[in-house]
């Protein structure tokens, strides 16, 4: 299912030896497989082809220019959550008319920018936001296409920081208030045009059941909105999960046969199509993680081995500033040495150089007994990896590389120290 595997004792991405990349660009570095990203987009499209379906890639998962370019060239749309993301999409050659704009805190300049660029729809999260868009559109003499994000009260059984469809979180409008809100848009917000309805119940979902429950709850509302206001689309959000634990094995077809509980793109599509097809609406899906998550690794070098009182530490040159998922929401990444090991495992914590106790990549993990100087690959690092990176501890942003068959190119130079402080202004003399 993805393009990372050992060949001749060395971990490869497609046909490129990751050791060669590490030697030339250094570490930490993110390495993406072009084939995996393009292949996942194609798989969504193929699987959803019985519907009038459109894929809007959730840009926040990985917003690097070359990744957006790759998807834009395949005709993908984009789900954005800020004016900055819209700018990135346009800068990468993406079509604003294929952009949906989500998020609870859109500012007036962002709304104006999105209206100027002619985005497909604002996916709105509150009545106050709708009124703000109505006001801005009125001032510009435009009519803004809108959808409301419905919160269907479904527990997606995922980590508490990435569940979004229950009544305790900040996202969306309660399902019981949706129809009243559309009536208010129709009656009192003359510069808005209801174009659709939207939901997104959470991220890293590994089972299809929560989607089906949400779709069953929202479908009658979608139908009624279609009849009353002529809405044309229903965005069912993103959230399709990936394999983090067992990801190397999951590359084989055999693994998938043995894990029928793991949601695939095809399984997801087959389950939702029968519920959605009769509605006669355009269906938008907003995958982020599933398009890029398994499609990249982060390369890091083991710097030191430290035997603490209670634990063995492998200290690496990538920190929580490079990939924050383990620190932020207990994200799990398999750790594989680029040079294949046989049998010699130890239990260790893999930690970075950042001065925070939360700066770990793995805890109490059985890993090959790697030694200082060795290159490691943190697997499944493509989603919410580089896009969440910072320069905390004054550590410049990592390099990024795209592999295509047996070729590869740098898609982001490692940030220089000068670039890191660009925009900072020295204190005036007194």
Binding site for ligand PLP (CB under 6 A): 58, 60-61, 79, 102, 200, 203-204, 237-240, 286-290, 383
Q: Which of 36, 46, 58 is nearest to 288 (CA)?
A: 58
- Residue 172 or 368 having the CB closest to ligand PLP: 172
Instruction: Output the CA–CA distances (angstroms, integers) from residue 416 to 183, 228, 299, 420, in the order listed.
Output: 53, 56, 18, 6
Write down the least CB distance from residue 414 to ligand PLP, Å: 26
Q: Please, which residues have CB within 8 angstroms of residue 42's CB and are 6 or more apart in sequence?
A: 74
Q: How far is CA 57 from the centre of its chain?
A: 8
Q: How far apart are CA 141 and CA 199, in angstroms?
A: 29
- Residue 204 or 321 having the CB closest to ligand PLP: 204
Strands lying side by side in the sheet with 16-17? 4-7, 10-13, 16-17
User: How many residues are given for the chain?
Assistant: 430
Burial class (CB in 10 A: 0-12, 13-18, 19+), 95: middle
Q: Output the six-digit token pair for 370.
A: 């790697």
SS3 220: helix
Write down the least CB distance from residue 94 to ligand PLP, Å: 16
Write down the least CB distance from residue 151 to ligand PLP, Å: 12
- Residue 210 or 238 having the CB closest to ligand PLP: 238
* Catalytic site includes residue 124: no
Q: Which of 322, 262, 317 is nearest to 296 (CA)?
A: 322
| DSSP label at residue 248 | T
Q: How far apart are CA 16 and CA 33, in angstroms?
A: 10
At residue 412, φ and ψ (nearest 5 deg) are -155, 120
Question: C-alpha dihedral over 288, 289, 290, 294, to 10 degrees?
Answer: 140
Write down the least CB distance from residue 158 to ligand PLP, Å: 9
Q: Which of 82, 85, 127, 123 is nearest to 106 (CA)?
A: 82
Q: Output the six-digit token pair for 170.
A: 């900040």
- Residue 84 or 372 having the CB closest to ligand PLP: 84
Write down the least CB distance from residue 307 to ligand PLP, Å: 38
Write down the least CB distance from residue 389 to ligand PLP, Å: 17
Q: Give me the helix-helix angle, 65-73 and 83-91, nearest 10°.
A: 60
Catalytic option among 62, 124, 302, 355: 355
- Residue 157 or 371 having the CB closest to ligand PLP: 157
- Residue 88 or 200 having the CB closest to ligand PLP: 200
Write down the least CB distance from residue 380 to ligand PLP, Å: 13
Q: Please, which residues have CB within 8 angstroms of residue 257's CB and are 6 or more apart in sequence?
A: none
Write down the least CB distance from residue 309 to ligand PLP, Å: 39
- Residue 21 or 324 having the CB closest to ligand PLP: 324
Q: How far apart are CA 103 and CA 109, in angstroms?
A: 15
- Residue 175 or 376 having the CB closest to ligand PLP: 175
At residue 317, φ and ψ (nearest 5 deg) are -90, 10
Provide the annotated active-site residues: 355
């Amino acid at each position: 299912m993805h393009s990372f595997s050992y060949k001749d004792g060395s971990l490869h991405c497609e046909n490129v030896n990751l050791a060669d990349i590490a030697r030339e660009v250094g570490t930490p570095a993110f390495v993406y497989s072009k084939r995996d990203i393009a292949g996942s987009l194609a798989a969504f499209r193929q699987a959803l082809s019985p519907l009038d379906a459109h894929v809007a890639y959730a840009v926040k998962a990985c917003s690097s220019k070359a990744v957006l370019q790759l998807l834009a060239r395949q005709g993908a749309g984009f789900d954005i959550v800020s004016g900055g993301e819209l700018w990135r999409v346009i800068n990468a050659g993406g079509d604003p008319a294929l952009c949906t704009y989500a998020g609870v805190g859109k500012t007036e300049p962002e709304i104006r920018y999105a209206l100027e660029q002619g985005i497909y729809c604002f996916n709105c999260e509150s009545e106050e936001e709708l009124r703000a868009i109505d006001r801005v559109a009125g001032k510009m003499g435009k009519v803004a296409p809108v959808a409301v994000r419905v919160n269907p009260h479904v527990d997606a059984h995922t980590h508490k920081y990435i569940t979004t469809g229950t009544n305790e979180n900040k996202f969306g409008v309660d399902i019981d208030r949706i129809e009243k809100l559309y009536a208010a848009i129709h009656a009192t917000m003359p510069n808005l045009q209801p174009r659709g309805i939207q939901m997104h119940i959470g991220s890293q979902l590994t089972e299809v059941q929560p989607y089906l429950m949400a779709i069953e709850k929202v479908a009658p509302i979608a139908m009624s909105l279609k009849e009353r206001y002529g809405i044309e689309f229903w965005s069912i959000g993103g959230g399709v999960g990936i394999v983090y634990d067992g990801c190397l094995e999951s590359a084989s077809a055999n693994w998938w046969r043995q894990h029928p509980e793991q949601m695939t793109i095809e399984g997801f599509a087959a389950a939702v199509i029968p519920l959605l097809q009769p509605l006669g609406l355009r269906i938008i899906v907003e995958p982020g993680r599933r398009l890029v998550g398994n499609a990249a690794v982060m390369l890091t070098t083991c710097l030191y081995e430290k035997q603490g009182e209670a634990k063995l530490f492998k200290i690496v040159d990538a920190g929580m500033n490079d990939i924050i998922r383990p620190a932020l929401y207990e994200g799990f990444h398999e750790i594989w040495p680029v040079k294949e090991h046989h049998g010699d495992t130890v239990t260790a914590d893999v930690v970075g150089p950042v001065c925070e106790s939360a700066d770990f990549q793995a805890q109490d993990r059985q890993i090959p007994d790697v030694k200082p100087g060795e290159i490691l690959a943190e697997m499944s690092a493509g989603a919410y990896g580089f896009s969440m990176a910072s320069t905390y501890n004054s550590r410049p942003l990592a390099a990024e590389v795209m592999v295509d068959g047996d070729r590869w190119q740098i898609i982001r130079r490692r940030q220089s120290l000068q670039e890191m402080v660009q925009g900072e202004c020295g204190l005036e003399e007194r």
